[in-house]
Amino acid sequence: MSDTRYLSWPFFEERHRQLAGELESWAAEHVPHEHGTDVDAQCRSLVRALGAAGWLKHAVGGRSHGAADAIDTRSICLIRETLARHSGLADFAFAMQGLGSGAISLQGTPEQKERYLSRVARGEAIAAFALSEPEAGSDVAAMQCSARVEGGQAVLDGEKTWISNGGIADFYVVFCRTAEAPGARGISAFIVDAGTPGFEIAERIEVIAPHPLARLRFTNCRIPLSQRIGAAGEGFKIAMRTLDIFRTSVAAAALGFARRAMDEALHRATTRKMFNQVLADFQLTQAKLAQMATTIDASALLVYRAAWQRDQGHNVTREAAMAKLTATEGAHQVIDAAVQIFGGLGVVSGQPVERLYREIRSLRIYEGASEVQQLIIARELLKDLGNKAPAPSPVRKTP
Ligand SMILES: Cc1cc2nc3c(=O)[nH]c(=O)nc-3n(C[C@H](O)[C@H](O)[C@H](O)COP(=O)(O)OP(=O)(O)OC[C@H]3O[C@@H](n4cnc5c(N)ncnc54)[C@H](O)[C@@H]3O)c2cc1C
């Protein structure tokens, strides 16, 4: 088990320390170290196991639906960090239940919550979040997938891509252009059940760290208007609020991958004999280890500051972006250093550090690529400056 001294930081309450300890014991016993080739079956089985053990309750909000009262970001982050340390797929299975149902937790009607959240929390329904499109990834507001109202129904047409859990989800929260206003203000969110006529999986996508992923197609797909989440035109706001919670948790998952790489590197460096010493006796190795540990602590501070701040009810747009940028880029560096410490063994398929090297890559891209996080941070900084800007000082003329 990794160094857990950070759990005494003031961001946490006793219940968080207890949660982290209990999940660590559960994960050590129940999360498989090796995953076979049928990623769909493994994912379904992980969702069922996480639900049966009660962990998925933390991914959704609403006590009456067997869940936590409100979404507690620190719990979600601790769970993702711990699961990611054990298995990328276990973290993925947990995270997608939260991301896929987040819009319903935040803005769903009582009927929608009743119908979906308790099944998500028990691991009996698999959720997906469908925002990205082939021509609208970073530029979300460029989306084209549309929904028009016709005879009391919403009729969906268009495509979504890179959709995690695509092909195995029981329902998809789909963001569509409804054109109440141009750009981001003309988007609405809908729940589409798997098997709805007019909805199909157009393509399954294979990625370097395998998990269910697909391109979705909607052709004259009719759903009741009661499947809309929130008001017409509110979809973009709902998507951003959902991402504000889960963006910090992506950073927590990156932190978990980095901690695992650190553990592996420490073990290897202190046991690998060379030149009549072990690798860790060399100062060049010590410098690497020191940098890795410092990067991990800096990431952890930003992750749990953002999580704590959101749990206090504050806006975290800037803090979540800082956490995601630092933790995902930092984890990439930590894992790369671990691979280097392992030498040839570090690139052998199936080695933990080789797996981590593949797992971390997409975290720097999804839920807002690193460049997008930089833009968000800068925008928030400049906004603050604009609010506080003093009157410009008069230009002094040279005599
Ligand atoms: C494994 C995986 C799982 C995913 N799961 C989901 C999911 O479940 N649901 C969902 O809706 N989407 C999902 N996505 C999609 C993901 O959110 C997008 O891939 C991401 O938003 C980037 O969009 P894009 O791939 O179209 O890249 P583009 O938008 O084409 O961007 C390409 C690159 O351009 C750079 N860039 C972007 N903006 C700027 C800028 N302003 N200035 C300079 N450089 C910039 C970045 O480096 C970026 O990586 C997933 C993606 C992956 C890889």
Give me ligand 1 centre to Cα 378, in Å: 19
Report the atom number in ligand 1 closest to the C-alpha of 100: 8
User: What atom of ligand 1 comes closest to residue 209's alpha carbon?
Assistant: 1
- CA 372 to ligand 1 centroid distance, Å: 9
Q: 319-351 pLDDT, tens per residue? A: 999 999 999 999 999 999 999 999 999 999 999
Catalytic residue, chosen from 234, 367, 371, 380, is 367
CA triplet 60, 366, 322: central angle to 5 degrees?
Answer: 85
Average pLDDT, the chain: 94
- Identify the residue whose C-alpha is closest to ligand 1 atom 48: 369
Angle at 358 between CA 159 and CA 325, to 5 degrees: 75
The predicted model scores a pTM of 0.95
Which residue lies with its CA nearest to atom 42 of ligand 1? Answer: 371
Q: What is the dihedral of CA 269, 274, 277, 281, to 10 degrees?
A: -40
Active-site residue flag, 13: no
Q: Are 287 and 250 in contact (CB under 8 A)?
A: no
- Closest ligand 1 atom, residue 128 Cα: 8
Q: How far apart are CA 348 and CA 393, in angstroms?
A: 62
CA distance linking residue 300 with residue 126, whole number of Å: 29
Enumerate residue ranges in the chain where pLDDT < 70. 1, 35, 62-69, 389-399
Q: Whose CA is nearest to atom 35 of ligand 1?
A: 371
Of 96, 138, 174, 240, the one to substitute when testing ligand 1's pocket (max ligand atoms within 8 A of C-beta) is 138
Tell me the residue type at 171.
Answer: F
Structure confidence at residue 65 (pLDDT): 64
Residue 165 contacts by C-beta under 8 Å, 6 or more apart in sequence?
Answer: 43, 96, 100, 126, 127, 128, 212
Distances (CA, A) of 66 to 20, 50, 52, 60, 62: 20, 14, 12, 9, 7
Cβ–Cβ under 8 Å, residues 146 and 90 = no
Pocket of ligand 1 (CB under 6 A): 129-132, 137-138, 162-164, 207, 213, 362, 365-367, 369, 371-372, 375
Following DSSP, what letter does each residue of 15-60 receive, concatenated? HHHHHHHHHHHHHHHHS-SS--S-HHHHHHHHHHHHHHTTGGGGGS
| Res 398: pLDDT | 45
CA of 367 to the centre of ligand 1 (A): 7
Q: What angle do CA 361, 363, 367 make, to 5 degrees?
A: 145
Query: What is the percent of the chain with per-residue pLDDT over 90, rounded to a whole number?
Result: 87
End-to-end CA distance of the chain: 70
Could you give the CA distance from residue 353 to residue 341 in angstroms, rounded to a whole number?
10
CA 38 and chain centroid, separation: 22
**Contacts (Cβ under 8 Å, ≥6 apart) of 293:** 262
Point out which residues pair with 157 in neighbouring strands.
146
- What are all long-range contacts of 287-291, with beta carbons under 8 Å and residues at least 24 apart? 288/337, 288/340, 288/341, 289/262, 289/265, 291/333, 291/337
- Containing 159, the helix (H) or strand (E) segment is strand 153-164
CA angle 363, 368, 371 (to 5 degrees): 95
Q: How far is the CA of 243 from the centre of ligand 1 (A)?
A: 14
Closest C-alpha to 322, from 263, 250, 382, 272? 250
